[in-house]
Chains A and B, each alone.
Chain A
Amino acid sequence: MTDDSTKNLGRIHGVNGNLITVVFENPVRQNEVGYARLGELLLKAEIVRVRAGKCWLQVFEDTVGLKVGDPVEFSGDLLSVELGPGLLKSIYDGLQNPLPELAEQAGFFLERGQYIDGLNRNTQWDFTPSVQVGDLLKAGDAVGSVPEGMFTHRIMIPFGWKGQFTVKEISEACTCTVEKVVAKVEDSEGELREVKLYQNWPVKKAITAFEERLRPTENMSTQVRIIDTFFPVARGGTYCIPGPFGAGKTVLQQITSRRADVDIVIIAACGERAGEVVETLREFPELEDPRTGRSLMERTLIICNTSSMPVASREASVYTGVTLAEYYRQMGLNVLMLADSTSRWAQALRELSGRLEEIPGEEAFPAYLESVIASFYERAGVVRLNDGSTGSVTVGGTVSPAGGNFEEPVTQSTLKVVGAFHGLSRERSDQRRYPAIDPMDSWSKYPSLVDEQMLKEARTMLRDGRDVENMMKVVGEEGTALEDFILFLKAEFLDEVYLQQDAYHDVDGASSAERQQHVFGIIHSIMSSDFSFPGKDQARQEFQRWQQMSKDWNRTPMDSPEFATAEAKLMDAVNAYRSGSGKEN
């Protein structure tokens, strides 16, 4: 404990769960960070309310042992993260503490009151300047760069600085740590400011140091057929994956984090199972990024605030994640941020709101839930940066609706603001139809990989097939016309061989854009053909045989000779029953 006389101190007046009431004398700021002292330990907390000379702080740790009268130190700063080289490959908790370093200090368990700098202070970086003395810069402009893995990491004028700055001093190319002042710039008042390799940024504020926001139009390939073809996501877009437990939300996100066609992936494991993060933690360093041939971890950053970790930092973790995403976007990179699950984050808000005794909204969620969710998703986007290059942040969040019922507040608030909706259904996952994205309920506002007209026809076919299926449940197969029955088989065929995909198969699990376009063309041509079968049993048998062939085809690599062979085999089998290629409907 250092000298207390220079610190802004308050005293605890009450403790209720992770919320403490503090009496203060000197001014405090709303959302300022404070530390509750418990003996030698400092427990991080954030002011969430000021009322009648007292302030309420939510503590990011367990409050066991805190007493009335214990001191609280106010820091004067908002909850911030450090932005600089060395973020990639890191595994942070919701407050940007690096977990592996914490483990070295504290062992197996996450003991309270342990905080470590987000960026390592000893790592050496090779700085190369890109400006000269006299250059005029503004917030977000680079003064130089350091190589970080496979990326050129721009060192930028802090995003919060307003106005124009003249470079007065710039460091030579050198090897230095993040603390090194690499440039000194002068603001319009004539005051000299220092630029280091890193800067701090309050997580709940969006970074806006760019020229303009653009419309997201470019397809972000995930190599999942049902997504890329049917319910595409655009770079800079937003999407959500609601679904009941066990429907495969997390598996879908894991697949996306591996295969998505972006530069950097930020995974915010927010209030979900620790085991799932561990899979990523342990497997990514071993896995190869097919785009670059390097370890997947080199393009990944993990924020890990799992369900048993303190609830308050769960709320912070999604903001930490999206802030880091915005930071790399500022370097002209395409970033994908995955949040699993936004419902847990909303629940953290609910817990806090309950403790603050606010008037509850639907299902006891706070009334401001909708605006909080909206402003989070709005941090996604494609932007044109100061230097003319573009960068993007794509945000994908899972939602875990209570009882799998999409009519609940979190799902509904999310659906209002996202550009694509991948609704998982219990019915499909029970039938082991993976990915269990419901082709009827889901939608996307972004452009697909394949021809829109063909896609429309495929959707119609799925819907008509479903109608026939429902009808058959009532009138039975014998009451169904052969024509309708074939329609049903076609829809089933499309579902089995295209919408479903074996995520654990090396080839089938990753379907490139090129492959999807090719295969979809073939499937579409089969679906729009007329067939003549002597009876329903034969029709069913044939379709089952084709399914089998198509699945084998899906498992052969596109560049292998077997691919063409399998395709030809399938087409021969199909052509034998074709009675024309006129379009139905």
Chain B
Amino acid sequence: MHTRYHGIENIVGNVLMLRAEGVGNGDLAEVSYGDERSLAQVIQLDGDQVFLQVFSGSRGIPTDASVRFLGHGLQVPFSDDLLGRIFDGSGVPRDGRPELDAEAVRVAGPSVNPAQRIIPRKMVRTGIPMIDVFNTLVQSQKLPIFSVAGEPYNPLLARIALQAEVDVIILGGMGLKYDDYLYFRDTLEEAGSLSRSVMYVHTAADPTVECLFVPDLCLAVAEQFALQNKEVLVLLTDMTNYADAMKEIAITMEKIPSNRGYPGDLYSQLAARYEKAVDFDSAGSITVLAVTSMPGDDVTHPVPDNTGYITEGQFYLRNGRIEPFGSLSRLKQFVNGSTREDHRKIMDRMIQLYANSRSTEEKRAMGFRMTDWDHKLVTFGQLFEKRLMSLDVTLHLEDALDTCWNILAESFEADECGMPSELIEKFWPKK
């Protein structure tokens, strides 16, 4: 099993081909030459031809490099000592400390039996009104943050990480700028959160293939913590880089591209990762928040598009704030029915009115005469943006709901705001 093979026949992109026998699909191999060594994984078998994807890239690999098959698939060492550690995309420590000596667990294991899942019911309070009131985050949820390059998505992710009440934070960086990596590390460290975090970071300078393993490593580790009764929050940034890495490999392998060069199984591949988010019946949970940058602010781009179909909603980050339109937490109705009786109604009505106020703004911009109603809508829109939408606002849910009623009362009469009469009686601010 551990025979060494020499004689690589093809090197195309990051994929090597050599002839070998008794090799399992998905097995790992070690490719070494001179002082260099790298892991590689079997991605296809055809007769005695074995196709290997080299983690560190194929640059400089000689055709007589030695290849040793390890006889097992991708694994990651797991123990509580992981907390506070930082690794790269192939699981090698990035923090200068020694390798972890712990039992290895499999990476990219089978999915959870749907019959073993439970309906999520715990809200994750973030203190951000646009999330807590309008699109409540729920434990075991998987949510992307759709964002254009240049938006403060990493700071937002970091802020959610610090404010959210969870036991373990696992941060996966894919194609992360080195500065951003340092930003995350320092932010978590300053807030004292590093000790409850594990980071797997692939930076833009690292080989592309390593990018492919970051989500799997993060989620495999998250799964282990969750099985130990921990509430885990997995933060991934940026999934578009991950998809691009998949595209690169697929094209190298001469797979037929489906949409803008992405492989036909993009949906299944992304789903396999996101679906690791789970609330175990008798153990912990995994919540996934993933940044997905939208090239050209285009939500129909294959990556955000496929992601939207997989995740349980999405947050749009635009102009430095979470957009109320399009942003959606699909699980919110599991938790927002039991927060406060006015929560659901006021959430819907505020958004409807805000939509009207935006179209009124358009009308105003075109120079049309404004009616009384239009002026009220404009006032409403401005108050809404200032007191709730701004990312600087930190409010408890209940305070945020009261703020909603205040905004309504400052803008409209009670019988024109469109709220059910019994709620108006109870919550309409008395002058």
Neighbouring B residues of A540 by C-beta, 8 Å: 371, 373
Chain A's closest residue to B325 (CB) is: A430
Neighbouring B residues of A400 by C-beta, 8 Å: 309
Q: Mark B325-365, 1 if CB is under 8 A from A, else 0.
A: 11010110100010000001000100110010000001100
Contact status of A548 and B418, CB under 8 A, knowing A364-B257, A478-B369 = yes
Inter-subunit contact A110/B325 (CB<8 Å): no
CB distance from A554 to the nearest CB of B (A): 11
Q: Mark B299-323, 1 if CB is under 8 A from A, else 0.
A: 1111001101110111000000000
Inter-subunit contact A311/B265 (CB<8 Å): yes
B379 is an interface residue with CB less than 8 A from chain A: no
Neighbouring B residues of A308 by C-beta, 8 Å: 111, 271-272, 274-276
Inter-subunit contact B312/A275 (CB<8 Å): yes
Inter-subunit contact A364/B258 (CB<8 Å): yes
CB distance from B422 to the nearest CB of A (A): 9
Q: Which residue of B264, B366, B421 is within 8 Å of A350 (Cβ)?
A: B264
A40 is an interface residue with CB less than 8 A from chain B: no
A121 is an interface residue with CB less than 8 A from chain B: no
Neighbouring B residues of A365 by C-beta, 8 Å: 258
Q: Which residue of B112, B259, B268 is within 8 Å of A110 (Cβ)?
A: B112
A405 is an interface residue with CB less than 8 A from chain B: yes
Interface stretch (choices A278-286, A417-425, A437-445): A278-286
Neighbouring B residues of A545 by C-beta, 8 Å: 415
| Dominant secondary structure of chain A at its interface with chain B | mixed
CB neighbors of A among B93-122 (8 A): 109-120
Q: Mark B253-273, 1 if CB is under 8 A from A, else 0.
A: 001111100011101100110
Chain A CB within 10 A, most for which of B117, B314, B371, B416: B117
A111 is an interface residue with CB less than 8 A from chain B: yes
Q: Which residue of B257, B267, B416 is within 8 Å of A344 (Cβ)?
A: B267
Q: How far is the CA of A65 from the CA of B306 in the complex (A)?
A: 29
Interface stretch (choices B45-53, B84-92, B175-183): B45-53
Inter-subunit contact B415/A15 (CB<8 Å): no
The bracket for how many chain A residues form the interface is 35 or more
Q: Which residue of B111, B119, B268, B371 is within 8 Å of A278 (Cβ)?
A: B119
Neighbouring A residues of B127 by C-beta, 8 Å: none
CB neighbors of B among A325-366 (8 A): 341, 344, 347, 350-351, 354, 357, 360, 363-365
Neighbouring A residues of B331 by C-beta, 8 Å: 275
Inter-subunit contact B275/A274 (CB<8 Å): yes
Chain B CB within 10 A, most for which of A357, A364, A365: A364
Neighbouring B residues of A477 by C-beta, 8 Å: 363, 368-369, 371
Inter-subunit contact A504/B110 (CB<8 Å): no
B280 is an interface residue with CB less than 8 A from chain A: yes
Inter-subunit contact B119/A279 (CB<8 Å): yes
CB neighbors of A among B356-414 (8 A): 362-363, 366, 368-369, 371-373
Contact status of A309 and B325, CB under 8 A, knowing A347-B267, A350-B258 = no
Q: Mark B1-45, 1 if CB is under 8 A from A, else 0.
A: 000000000000000000001111111000000000000000011
Chain B's closest residue to A502 (CB) is: B348
Q: How far is the CA of A547 from the CA of B352 in the complex (A)?
A: 14
CB distance from B249 to the nearest CB of A (A): 12
Q: Mark A468-493, 1 if CB is under 8 A from B, else 0.
A: 00000100111000000000000000
Inter-subunit contact A402/B112 (CB<8 Å): no
Q: How far is the CA of A146 from the CA of B45 in the complex (A)?
A: 51
B73 is an interface residue with CB less than 8 A from chain A: yes
Q: How far is the CA of A109 from the CA of B227 in the complex (A)?
A: 11
Inter-subunit contact B112/A109 (CB<8 Å): yes
Interface stretch (choices A97-105, A128-136, A214-222): A97-105
Q: Which residue of B21, B308, B352, B373 is within 8 Å of A68 (Cβ)?
A: B21
B155 is an interface residue with CB less than 8 A from chain A: no
Q: How far is the CA of A347 from the CA of B302 in the complex (A)?
A: 14
B420 is an interface residue with CB less than 8 A from chain A: yes
CB distance from B99 to the nearest CB of A (A): 24
Neighbouring B residues of A282 by C-beta, 8 Å: 118-119
Chain B's closest residue to A14 (CB) is: B46
Q: How far is the CA of A271 from the CA of B310 in the complex (A)?
A: 9
Q: Which residue of B21, B47, B110, B275 is within 8 Å of A306 (Cβ)?
A: B275
Chain B's closest residue to A551 (CB) is: B420
Q: Which residue of A13, A15, A246 is within 8 Å of B25 (Cβ)?
A: A15
Q: Which residue of B24, B267, B313, B326 is within 8 Å of A66 (Cβ)?
A: B24
Inter-subunit contact B114/A304 (CB<8 Å): yes
Inter-subunit contact B308/A245 (CB<8 Å): yes
Inter-subunit contact B25/A63 (CB<8 Å): yes
Neighbouring B residues of A106 by C-beta, 8 Å: 113
Chain A's closest residue to B267 (CB) is: A347
Inter-subunit contact A110/B110 (CB<8 Å): yes
Q: Which residue of A14, A102, A360, A426 is within 8 Å of B47 (Cβ)?
A: A14
Neighbouring B residues of A344 by C-beta, 8 Å: 267
Q: How far is the CA of A108 from the CA of B116 in the complex (A)?
A: 6
Q: How far is the CA of A420 from the CA of B320 in the complex (A)?
A: 42
Contact status of A68 and B264, CB under 8 A, knowing A109-B110, A110-B113, A308-B271 = no
Neighbouring A residues of B23 by C-beta, 8 Å: 67-68
Q: Mark A104-144, 1 if CB is under 8 A from B, else 0.
A: 00111111100000000000000000000000000000000
Contact status of A110 and B352, CB under 8 A, knowing A13-B46, A275-B117, A278-B117 = no
Q: Which residue of B27, B265, B300, B373 is within 8 Å of A405 (Cβ)?
A: B300
A541 is an interface residue with CB less than 8 A from chain B: yes
Q: How far is the CA of A350 from the CA of B256 in the complex (A)?
A: 10
A459 is an interface residue with CB less than 8 A from chain B: no
Neighbouring A residues of B44 by C-beta, 8 Å: 14-17
Inter-subunit contact B25/A363 (CB<8 Å): no
Neighbouring A residues of B109 by C-beta, 8 Å: 109
Q: How far is the CA of A142 from the CA of B259 in the complex (A)?
A: 51
Q: Mark B212-239, 1 if CB is under 8 A from A, else 0.
A: 0000000000000001000000000000
Neighbouring A residues of B274 by C-beta, 8 Å: 307-308
Inter-subunit contact B344/A432 (CB<8 Å): no
Inter-subunit contact B300/A111 (CB<8 Å): no
Inter-subunit contact A15/B328 (CB<8 Å): no
Chain B CB within 10 A, most for which of A64, A99, A360: A64
Q: How far is the CA of A357 from the CA of B253 in the complex (A)?
A: 12
Inter-subunit contact A16/B256 (CB<8 Å): no
Q: How far is the CA of A107 from the CA of B110 in the complex (A)?
A: 12
CB neighbors of B among A67-102 (8 A): 67-69, 91, 99-100, 102
CB distance from A547 to the nearest CB of B (A): 8
Neighbouring A residues of B263 by C-beta, 8 Å: 354
Inter-subunit contact B119/A99 (CB<8 Å): no
Q: Which residue of B27, B314, B373 is within 8 Å of A537 (Cβ)?
A: B373
A536 is an interface residue with CB less than 8 A from chain B: yes
Q: Mark B185-229, 1 if CB is under 8 A from A, else 0.
A: 000000000000000000000000000000000000000000100
Chain A's closest residue to B298 (CB) is: A403
CB distance from A354 to the nearest CB of B (A): 5
Q: How far is the CA of A63 from the CA of B114 in the complex (A)?
A: 21
Other A-B pairs beyond A15-B44, A364-B259, A537-B373, 10, CB < 8 Å: A64-B24, A91-B115, A100-B115, A112-B110, A245-B308, A306-B111, A309-B111, A354-B256, A544-B416, A552-B420
Chain B interfacial positions (CB closer than 8 Å to A): 21-27, 44-48, 73, 109-120, 140, 227, 255-259, 263-265, 267-268, 271-272, 274-276, 280, 283, 299-302, 305-306, 308-310, 312-314, 325-326, 328, 330-331, 333, 337, 344, 348, 351-352, 355, 362-363, 366, 368-369, 371-373, 415-416, 418, 420-421
Minimum-distance CB pairs A-B, first 9 = A403-B300, A476-B368, A308-B275, A307-B271, A64-B26, A245-B308, A364-B258, A308-B111, A99-B115
Q: Can you list 6 residue pairs at the A/B interface with Cβ under 8 Å?
A: A67-B22, A245-B314, A275-B331, A350-B258, A426-B326, A552-B421
